[in-house]
Amino acid sequence: PLAKLGRWTHSSRWLTVFNLTCVAGLCSVSALMLWDMREDATQRTEITSRSLLQVLERDIARNIELYDLSLQAVVDGMKRPDVARAAPELRHMILFDRSATGLGFGFIMVLNATGDVVLNSQSVAPRVLNRADGEYFQYFAAHNDDGLHISPPAISRLTGKWVVMMSRRLSNPDGSFAGVVAGAIHLDYFRGLFAAAGVARIGTVTLYGPGGSILMREPFDQQLLGESVANQPSYQRILTRQKGSFVGPAMVGEGERRFVFTHVGDQPLQLSTAIPPADIYADWWQKALALGGTVLALCGATIGLTWLFRCELDRRRAAEVATIALNVELELLATTDGLTGLSNRRSFDEVLAREWSRAVRTSQPLSLILLDADSFKGFNDRYGHQRGDEALKLIARAIEPVIGRSGDTGYRVGGEEFAVILPDTDKEGARIVASRIQQAVPGWKLPHASSNHAVLTVSCGLAQIPEAVAMEPAGLFRAADAALYEAKRSGRNCVRVSGSVSPDLRLVIG
């Protein structure tokens, strides 16, 4: 009996040691998981911020390039004697025919060597105005620089609005200073761009101009426009690299922020997001407390089961991972359009039915956009199906940037027809998305000789419950299709909303 008792005691001791080791290991694994979850929260925030900045940087850089082309056209035109001898109306048309092509571009004016405004894109006969005191005029008067110059923001004397001036130097044949061509970008353009990109989801988003001046900031505060943060340590760190992230003191306000930043091309402009660490880790703290408490309470009871079922669970887990990976691959092939990379009609029908049911159940809005390439048969007949496929890919690329929310989805539903499903989005929000797509496609300037617009365009039809009569998902589709037909009938390259003519249409549930 003593021997048996000794063996039992010895076994109990080892079992106790084993249990304590398992508890310690489980606690260590839990701590590591919590740390990984914390790092994941940081990484998700950085990925979201970087994606947003990439969209904003691309749009701003592209539009600045368009603005600069307009300035260069005026500079080149001023060098031609035949333009100088042309009648005022003709000269105005020649020099400023591209001045309105850029979104948010205000005006272009030409200053002579003394700073007098001699030409203005807003009128053939410009009003008497001298801008010799302007920063851009003084810069080119002192520098023999043929490049593009961007000035800090200021209130325009012509429009009374906040603008940032872009300018280029005019030179005489001998290279001496002959004046300046200057164009204004309204700061409201950047505000609209921020709103369209949904920056309100990402803490504080700021666009910095020359000398660290604030061009735009969301949340918007007009009193901060033009304020310089050049001496702030965090801004100095932004200037050291093209892009990156770091934790540093807030530039406006108090406390620390996690900054993600990038520069806008080779221009003296920077974009950054700034999020307080408390906002990043708020959800993580709740999960950490819940998970930590659960692990501590159940670790003793799970030690034995963890060991007994470990091999079986590992085997099943490996089988499940392989099965899930195969199912994901098959599902992707079954629900993705091979040409454009968007989801296909099958996926569209499933998601529309699901979102329609949820919208009816929760009384939340649901918007559907149908868009169709204009005169696409003529495009294929003239340029061939290979170019037609390229045109469809271009339309898909125009859809992808504007559906940034996790629930927004784009589809190719057949031929040259596409669709966008926007859950929890009202009519005005959906109209903004549709307009951005409709305006983005002709922005690629793909030639389309069979179209009245000379370039590839799309028409968009929009329907939204509860505004449209929709007793079933197909009813919402028919309403959007009718709006698309109305857009086609109205001349194409436009957006039409179902029910805009008959405002008394409402959701019918039956």
- Apex 370 CA angle, 367 and 371, nearest 5: 140
CA distance 407 to 106: 36
Q: pLDDT digit string (tens) for 122-140? A: 788 877 888 899 889 999 9
DSSP 295: H
Position 285 scores a pLDDT of 77
pLDDT score of 16: 65
Active site residue 467: no
Neighbours of 51 (CB within 10 A): 15
Cis before 126 (ω within 30) = no
Report pLDDT for 199. 67
Q: What is the pTM of this model?
A: 0.50
Catalytic: which of 416, 467, 472, 486? 416
CB count in 10 Å sphere of residue 449 = 11
Write the pLDDT tens digit of every residue in 479-490: 999 999 999 999
- Domains belonging to the chain, first-starting first, are 25-294 (3.30.450.20), 339-497 (3.30.70.270)
Ranges of residues in the chain with a pLDDT under 70 are 1-19, 98-103, 199-201, 300, 302-321, 468-470, 500-510
Q: What is the pLDDT of residue 457?
A: 95
Q: What is the pLDDT of residue 103?
A: 62
The pLDDT value recorded for residue 5 is 45
Q: Which two tokens stand for residue 339?
A: 């040409």
DSSP code string of 335-371: HB-TTTSSB-HHHHHHHHHHHHHHHHHHT--EEEEEE
Phi-psi category of residue 174: left, alpha or beta, with phi > 0 → left and psi -120 to 50 → alpha:
alpha
CA angle in degrees (0–180, nearest 5) for 427-362-432: 15
Residue 7: predicted pLDDT: 52
Euclidean distance between CA atoms 64 and 317, whole angstroms: 53
Distance CA 410, CA 436 (A): 14
Which DSSP string do the residues of 190-251 spell out, in sequence order?
A: HHHHHHHHTGGGSSEEEEE-GGGBEEEEES--GGGTT-B-TTSHHHHHHHTSSEEEEEEE-S
Interacting residues of 266 by C-beta distance below 8 A, sequence separation 6+ = none
Query: What gap in Å lies between CA 101 and CA 71, rounded to an integer?
Result: 12
